Amino acid sequence: VIVSLLCGINLFMTGVVGLYVGSIHAEVKRRPLYVIERLTGFNRSVRVASGERRASFRKAENRVPADVRTLRQL
């Protein structure tokens, strides 16, 4: 009986520690709880501007901006 009681306490405490570690892991990842699939009720100009910005990022994917110093320049 005592062995069963101690094993039960051990399993319970292992579960508590597991929940604590799981909550720390979720906090460290800091991922959003949901992803926005589409936007409604926003101006069209906002969507166009963000699309243009994405296109410019794709074009400049391999270039380093002039104000960024690389390790070779240091």
pLDDT single digits (tens) 18-68:
999 999 998 888 777 677 777 776 665 554 555 555 555 555 555 555 665
C-alpha R_g of the chain: 26
Structure tokens at 67: 């104000």
How high is the pLDDT of residue 22?
93
**Range with lowest mean pLDDT among 5-9, 10-14, 24-28, 34-38:** 34-38
Residue with tokens 């166009």: 48
CA distance 14 to 12: 5
